[in-house]
Chain A
């Protein structure tokens, strides 16, 4: 118990520094830090499924990208910005259903099936075209109203804190313990009285809900969305960002590092950050083994 407390006491200052630091930077870094915090929420929401139910999803662009996409489309049809969280909730429910059904598959098939969702959405998105007076959508995507960066910063920071606190509370709760039992052995969990289906459903919902809200803040941050939100790069992002995962702040740190490293590498050559992604993918099994052993 003391050990857990010590670990959490170390993690909170790291998170606080990451969230306070942008206040002392210029506009560009403020924007970049905000983007990193959105991706950190995305990764941590994804990690809720990985850590607690042992399911590695490569399809979290479904709640993330679809919320962003549908929010932009809803805005196009004069849906007020204040009601966009409702879009996030609907997408979260849809994603919960899809992840839950997919979780009936074994773990390896789950990875590939969720990856298929990402690729399908990536392929389908360019065909979404809305016509008013001009052609709107397609490869170009959709836009929404500009929101002041400080509001986005507050929203993204609040979401990250919420996901982080929730993750810690879940880890200490009986629900979290049941989820981790399901993660370790579904049949043994069932045999000891755990309602495995209900646990999987809850886990899918929690992970999808936070991811959807990350997607919502993502569209508000960019004020624009295009089919690339469903890209393979975004699909594998949380997996790569959490290769050092041992506690709950490491996926957050990983996301920040990945965002900043990507921006730095892209100054050398466009898309050069994909080399880093590929390298991290290659060494990820070893890194995960090491970080799991240390945790």
Chain B
């Protein structure tokens, strides 16, 4: 279980997030809100890529607030960037293999190939990431995330900059992840795009969580 307790974030006296409280026990939590509302900052703080100004983050009853991002990946919390950040000069297979090494160095490439197949990008395995299209990059990001064998996946705007066709493919993959049992937090500008994926929603607006509604209700 992941608990965010009274977490705030301030940049040079500008309050981005104020006293955020949330809990992720299971399923998929949709985080919606306009640009600049603090959605990405919230996810980055949970991932350890940003430090909260105050508050605590607990995972499996342990305080992980001061734990580095790479240690959190080892625990099972992994983050994907809104704008894909592949290792551009590495091949697709190597990109995924890097993630596999978090758990086991020995069979990293074999497992990476299996993940590439699962994500439908095995035909790109030997290509350098710098030549991939936006849609392919998103799939690579998802493959990298899975390669670390996570418990919680933090997806920052997974549908951003995608055409309809690619958005459908990414959505299908997220549904697959959900069926497998990954816990996820997914951000988006609008509620509509996440309604099939998320079980529950929160809205972040002006640095605060404004709503907490059940999508099925």
Is B74 located at the chain interface by the 8 A CB criterion?
yes
With both chains docked as a complex, state the minimum distance between the C-beta of B105 and any C-beta of chain A, in angstroms. Answer: 5
Contacts of A177 in B (CB 8 A): 90, 94, 97-98, 101
Contacts of A196 in B (CB 8 A): 70
**What are the interface flags for B83-95 relative to A under an 8 Å C-beta threshold, 1 for contact and 0 otherwise?**
0011111100011
What mask results when residues 32 to 50 of chain B are scored 1 for a CB within 8 Å of chain A, else 0? 0000000000000001010
Chain B residue numbers with a CB within 8 Å of A192 are 73, 78, 98-99, 102, 144, 147-148
Asked if B49 contacts A191 (CB within 8 A), the reply is yes
Greatest chain A CB density within 10 A among B80, B95, B101, B147 is at B101
Q: Does B177 contact A (CB under 8 A)?
A: no
What is the minimal beta-carbon distance from A251 to any residue of chain B, in angstroms? 17
Residues of chain B within 8 A (CB-CB) of A265 are: none
Bound CA span A185–B73, Å = 17
A269 interface residue (CB < 8 Å to B):
no
Asked if A233 is an interface residue, CB under 8 A from chain B, the answer is no
Interface flags for B10-48 (1: CB within 8 Å of A; 0: not) read 000000000000000000000000000000000000010
A193–B102 touching, CB < 8 Å:
yes
Which of A178, A187, A195 contacts B98, CB < 8 Å? A178
CB pair A194–B98 under 8 Å, yes or no, is yes
Q: How far is the CA of A174 from the CA of B47 in the complex (A)?
A: 24
In whole angstroms, how far apart are the Cα atoms of A158 and B81 in the complex?
45
Residues of A within 8 A of B68 (CB): 190, 195
Name B's interface SS: mixed
- Nearest CB on A from B24, distance (A): 18
Contacts A174-B105, A191-B47, A192-B78: A184 and B70 contacting too (C-beta < 8 A)? no
| A194 contacts across to B, CB distance below 8 A | 70, 98
Query: Taking the complex as formed, is B79 at the interface, i.e. its CB lies under 8 A from any CB of chain A?
Result: yes
Chain A interface bracket (under 10, 10 to 19, 20 to 34, 35 or more)? 10 to 19
- With a cutoff of 8 Å between Cβ atoms, the chain A residues found around residue B89 in the complex are 180, 183-184
Residue on A with the closest CB to B130?
A: A184
- Contacting pair B74 A193 (CB below 8 A): yes
- B4 adjacent to chain A (CB < 8 Å): no
Q: B148: which of A180, A189, A193 is its contact (CB, 8 Å)?
A: A193
**Cβ of A174 and Cβ of B69 under 8 Å apart?**
no
Which B residue's beta carbon lies closest to that of A3?
B126
Which residues of chain A are near B78, meaning CB under 8 Å?
191-193
In whole Å, how far is B175's beta carbon from the nearest beta carbon of chain A? Answer: 23
| B87–A185 CB distance below 8 A | yes
Chain A residue at minimum C-beta to C-beta distance from B96: A192
Q: Does A188 contact B (CB under 8 A)?
A: yes
Question: Can you name the residue of chain A whose Cβ is closest to the Cβ of B101?
Answer: A174
Q: Does B108 contact A (CB under 8 A)?
A: yes
Complex Cα gap A44–B110 (Å): 31
Interface residue? A160 (CB, 8 A) = no
In the bound complex, CA of A196 to CA of B148 (Å): 16
Counting chain B CB atoms within 10 Å of each CB, the highest count among A177, A180, A191 belongs to A191
B99→A187 contact, CB < 8 A = no
- Chain B proximity of A188: nearest CB distance (Å): 4
Q: Are A188 and B81 in contact (CB under 8 A)?
A: yes
- Which of these, A174, A180, A183, A187, contacts B49 with CB under 8 Å? A187
Q: Which 5 residue pairs across A and B have the least CB separation, nearest first?
A: A193-B73, A188-B85, A193-B102, A184-B87, A190-B69
Chain A residues within 8 Å of B, Cβ to Cβ: 174, 177-178, 180-181, 183-185, 187-196
Given A177-B90, A188-B81, 16 more A-B residue pairs with CB atoms under 8 Å apart are: A174-B101, A178-B98, A184-B86, A184-B87, A185-B88, A188-B86, A189-B98, A190-B68, A190-B69, A191-B49, A191-B79, A191-B80, A192-B144, A193-B102, A195-B70, A196-B70
